[in-house]
A and B are shown apart, each in its own frame.
Chain A
Amino acid sequence: MGAFRRARASLFERGSGFLLAQTAFVYLFLYLPIAVLITLSFNDSRYAVVWQGFTTKWYTALLQGETVARVDPNAAWNALLNSVEIAAATVVISCVFGTMLAFALDRYDFPGKRLFTGVVFMPIIIPSIVMGISLLLFFNIVGIQLGIGTAIIGHVAFGISFVAVVVAARLQTFDQTMEEAAMDLGANELETFRFVTLPMIKPGILAGALLAFAMSFDDFVVTFFIIGQENTLPIFFFGMVRQGISPGVNVVAALIIVVTMALVAVAQWFQGPTW
Chain B
Amino acid sequence: MGRDTNNRASGVDAQLVQRVRRNQWTGAIVNLAPSAFWLGVFFLAPLAVMFFFSFGERGAFGEVLLATENLGFQQYRRFFVPGEASMLGALWATVAWLIDTVIPGTQTLSSTQPTPYVRLLFKSIGYGILATVVSFVVGYPMAYYIGHIAPEEYQNLLVVLVILPFWASFLVRIYAIQLLLSANSVLMSAFAVLPFVEQGVSLMNSQFAVLLGLVYIWIPFMILPVYSSIEEIDFTLQEAAMDLGADRFEAFYYVIFPQSKPGVMAGSILVFIPSAGAYVIPELLGGTDSQMIGNFIASQFGSAGHWPFGAAGAFVLMGIMLLSIAAYQRGGGELA
Instruction: With A18-B141, A23-B145, A128-B279 as known contacts, state yes or no: A31 contacts B165, CB within 8 Å.
Output: yes
Closest to A14 in B: B248
Interface string of B155-169 (1 = CB under 8 A from A): 010111111111111
Interchain CB contact under 8 A, A138 and B46: yes
The CA of A55 and the CA of B186, in the complex, are separated in Å by 18
Interchain CB contact under 8 A, B294 and A129: yes
A-facing residues in B17-32 (Cβ within 8 Å): 21, 24-25, 27-28, 30-32
**Contacting residues, chain B, for A110 (C-beta < 8 A):** 25, 28, 32
Contact of B43 among A36, A116, A123, A268 (CB under 8 A): A123
Instruction: With A33-B216, A110-B28, A238-B171 as known contacts, state yes or no: A130 contacts B280, CB within 8 Å.
Output: no
A196 at the interface (CB under 8 A from B): no
The CA of A250 and the CA of B172, in the complex, are separated in Å by 9
Interchain CB contact under 8 A, B3 and A188: yes
A200 at the interface (CB under 8 A from B): no
Interchain CB contact under 8 A, A22 and B145: yes
A133 at the interface (CB under 8 A from B): yes
Interchain CB contact under 8 A, B50 and A137: yes
Interchain CB contact under 8 A, B42 and A156: yes
**Contacting residues, chain B, for A3 (C-beta < 8 A):** none
Expressed in whole angstroms, the minimum distance between the Cβ of B312 and any Cβ of chain A is 12
Interface string of A1-45 (1 = CB under 8 A from B): 000010011011101101110110011011111101100100000
Quick check: which of A62-70, A71-79, A100-108 contacts chain B, the rest being far away?
A100-108
Interchain CB contact under 8 A, B279 and A135: no
B235 at the interface (CB under 8 A from A): no
Interchain CB contact under 8 A, A119 and B39: yes
Interchain CB contact under 8 A, B177 and A27: no
The CA of A97 and the CA of B42, in the complex, are separated in Å by 14
A178 at the interface (CB under 8 A from B): no
Interface size class of chain A, counting residues whose CB lies under 8 Å from the partner chain: 35 or more
Interchain CB contact under 8 A, B43 and A122: yes
Instruction: With A214-B167, A257-B173 as known contacts, state yes or no: A9 contacts B247, CB within 8 Å.
Output: yes
A261 at the interface (CB under 8 A from B): yes
A-facing residues in B103-137 (Cβ within 8 Å): none
Instruction: With A130-B277, A133-B310, A241-B178 as known contacts, state yes or no: A97 contacts B34, CB within 8 Å.
Output: yes
B237 at the interface (CB under 8 A from A): no
B297 at the interface (CB under 8 A from A): yes
The CA of A264 and the CA of B161, in the complex, are separated in Å by 11
B-facing residues in A127-148 (Cβ within 8 Å): 127-131, 133-138, 141
Closest to B157 in A: A273
A256 at the interface (CB under 8 A from B): yes
Q: From DSSP, what is the main secondary structure of chain B's interface residues?
A: helix
Closest to B225 in A: A275
B-facing residues in A57-101 (Cβ within 8 Å): 96-98, 100-101
Interface string of B61-79 (1 = CB under 8 A from A): 0000000000000000000
Expressed in whole angstroms, the minimum distance between the Cβ of A155 and any Cβ of chain B is 10
A166 at the interface (CB under 8 A from B): no
**Contacting residues, chain B, for A175 (C-beta < 8 A):** none
Interchain CB contact under 8 A, A265 and B35: no
**Contacting residues, chain B, for A182 (C-beta < 8 A):** none
The CA of A26 and the CA of B219, in the complex, are separated in Å by 9
The CA of A22 and the CA of B279, in the complex, are separated in Å by 30
Interface string of B161-199 (1 = CB under 8 A from A): 111111111111111111110111111000000000000
Interchain CB contact under 8 A, A9 and B248: yes
Interface string of A172-183 (1 = CB under 8 A from B): 000000000000
**Number of interchain pairs (Cβ within 8 Å):** 265
**Contacting residues, chain B, for A237 (C-beta < 8 A):** 169, 171-172, 175
Expressed in whole angstroms, the minimum distance between the Cβ of A244 and any Cβ of chain B is 9
Interchain CB contact under 8 A, B44 and A256: no
B59 at the interface (CB under 8 A from A): no
Expressed in whole angstroms, the minimum distance between the Cβ of B329 and any Cβ of chain A is 10
**Contacting residues, chain A, for B159 (C-beta < 8 A):** 273
B240 at the interface (CB under 8 A from A): no
**Contacting residues, chain A, for B249 (C-beta < 8 A):** 5, 8-9, 11-12
A184 at the interface (CB under 8 A from B): no
Instruction: With A19-B149, A127-B277, A137-B50 as known contacts, state yes or no: A256 contacts B163, CB within 8 Å.
Output: no
**Contacting residues, chain A, for B2 (C-beta < 8 A):** 188, 190
**Contacting residues, chain B, for A26 (C-beta < 8 A):** 138-139, 142, 219, 223
Contact of B173 among A34, A238, A245, A274 (CB under 8 A): A34
A120 at the interface (CB under 8 A from B): yes
B271 at the interface (CB under 8 A from A): no
A206 at the interface (CB under 8 A from B): no
The CA of A259 and the CA of B82, in the complex, are separated in Å by 51
11 sampled A-B residue pairs with Cβ under 8 A: A19-B144, A33-B176, A107-B28, A110-B28, A119-B43, A120-B39, A130-B50, A188-B1, A237-B172, A256-B172, A260-B168
Mark B residues whose CB is within 8 Å of A. Answer: 1-3, 21, 24-25, 27-28, 30-32, 34-36, 38-39, 42-47, 49-50, 53, 138-139, 141-142, 144-146, 149-150, 156, 158-180, 182-187, 216, 219-220, 223-224, 247-249, 252, 273-274, 277, 279-280, 284, 294, 297-298, 301, 307, 310-311, 314, 317-318, 321, 325
Which 7 pairs of residues, A with B, have the shortest CB-CB distance?
A127-B277, A138-B46, A33-B176, A12-B248, A9-B247, A104-B31, A134-B46
